Amino acid sequence: MKIAVSGKGGVGKTTISASITRYLQENGYEVYAIDSDPDANLAAMLGIEEKVKPLVELDEVIKEKVGEKGGLYTLNPEVDDVLEEYAVRQNGLNFLRMGEVKKASSSCYCPENSFLKAIMNSLVFTRDEAVVLDMGAGIEHLTRGTSAGVDLMLIVLEPSSISVDTARTIQGLAEEAGVGRIEFIANKVRSEEERSLLEEELGSDLLGVIDFKEELLRSGFSAEDERELLEDEIARIFQKRDLFGEIAEG
Ligand SMILES: Nc1ncnc2c1ncn2[C@@H]1O[C@H](COP(=O)(O)OP(=O)(O)OP(=O)(O)O)[C@@H](O)[C@H]1O
């Protein structure tokens, strides 16, 4: 199962990706958490301190494994040299980092795209494995190639019309790209009024709502504390609707 978390900058994608990663891990999945945003701190939120080799270096290796014409490549957690070299692994969690992509021109995301494409389309995962991809803000990377293999696109938004508009744009691109399921999570909701407006606006596309956590405004919160705060909310959303189970069942 491949899950991508997207949305406008700063809406909470990384915190939500980290919470989902832990939720899935606690529910018995082998999780591959991939940080595709060079500015994000998914590692810190998952309590990972080790340096992780960036996956952009792996582009050639993937091409070699799947062949120039494409093909399938199954990551094997027991023996895989790729995981040994590029992942930090602990108890059912494999943390991978995309790394900084040198942009040849402002519109070229070639190495990142080709790797994302390989990982999303060529890698085969079993029912007990889940990929959680924390996507960078912006929509340039949302092409057919990179999104076609995604089973679930979670679009995070805040209660603002700009954030809702961006979410709808991402939804359109993801639909065009052939993503199987697309769901919205509204984060940082401060009042019943905001909640009702979002419910009205998004209808059945809205999977769940997470309240604004005033605690996070206080200093002294670590990245892990931050994730823990949202983890219960994520558990509540996915206990109400077992989307992961539905996807695994096909
Ligand atoms: N429910 C919430 N209540 C209050 N603050 C929140 C909530 N969720 C996330 N935040 C805060 O919002 C900020 C941005 O969160 P996060 O880094 O997860 O967003 P992002 O979408 O990944 O950002 P970027 O696009 O910059 O990578 C963080 O300071 C985080 O603590």
The DSSP letter of residue 8 is: S
Q: Could you tell me which residue, 148 or 204, shows the higher pLDDT?
A: 204
pLDDT digit string (tens) for 127-177? Answer: 888 999 898 776 666 665 666 678 999 999 999 999 999 999 999 988 988
Nearest alpha carbon, ligand 1 atom 9: 12
Please indicate whether residue 158, judged by its CB atom, sits closer than 6 Å to ligand 1: no
Please indicate whether residue 10, judged by its CB atom, sits closer than 6 Å to ligand 1: yes
Tokens of 146: 């990179």
Mutate-to-test residue for ligand 1 from 216, 222, 225, 229, highest number of ligand atoms within 8 A of CB? 216
If DSSP codes are grouped into helix, strand and coil, which group holds residue 19? Answer: helix
**Percent of the chain predicted with pLDDT > 70:** 72
Mean pLDDT, residues 40-65 taken together = 77
pLDDT digit string (tens) for 54-91? Answer: 776 666 665 666 565 555 555 555 556 666 777 888 88
Q: How confident is the model at residue 210 (pLDDT cuts 50, 70, 90)?
A: very high
Q: Could you tell me which residue, 20 or 59, shows the higher pLDDT?
A: 20
Please indicate whether residue 188, judged by its CB atom, sits closer than 6 Å to ligand 1: yes
Task: Quote the distance between the C-alpha of residue 155 and its chain's center.
Answer: 9
Nearest alpha carbon, ligand 1 atom 15: 12
Please indicate whether residue 227, judged by its CB atom, sits closer than 6 Å to ligand 1: no
pLDDT digit string (tens) for 28-37? Answer: 999 989 887 7
Q: How confident is the model at residue 103 (pLDDT cuts 50, 70, 90)?
A: very low
Q: Does residue 102 surpass a pLDDT of 80?
A: no
Rounded distance from Cα 112 to ligand 1 centre (Å)? 23
Position 104 scores a pLDDT of: 40
Q: Across 42-136, where does the E strand assignment appear?
A: 73-74, 88-90, 93-97, 123-124, 129-134
Mean pLDDT, residues 95-109 taken together = 58
Angstrom CA distances, 104 to 65, 97, 108, 110, 136, stand at 26, 20, 6, 9, 18
Straight-line distance from the first to the last Cα atom of the chain, in angstroms, rounded to the nearest whole number: 10
**Percent of the chain predicted with pLDDT > 90:** 43
Position 105 scores a pLDDT of: 39
Nearest alpha carbon, ligand 1 atom 8: 12
ipTM exceeding the 0.95 mark: yes
Side-chain-facing half-sphere of 234: CA atoms under 13 Å:
25
Nearest alpha carbon, ligand 1 atom 14: 10
**Ligand 1 atom index nearest CA of 214:** 4
What domains can be seen in the chain, in order of their start residue? 2-249 (3.40.50.300)
User: For residue 38, with 0-12 CB atoms within 10 Å meaning exposed, 13-18 middle and 19 or more buried, which class applies?
Assistant: middle
Rounded distance from Cα 52 to ligand 1 centre (Å)? 22
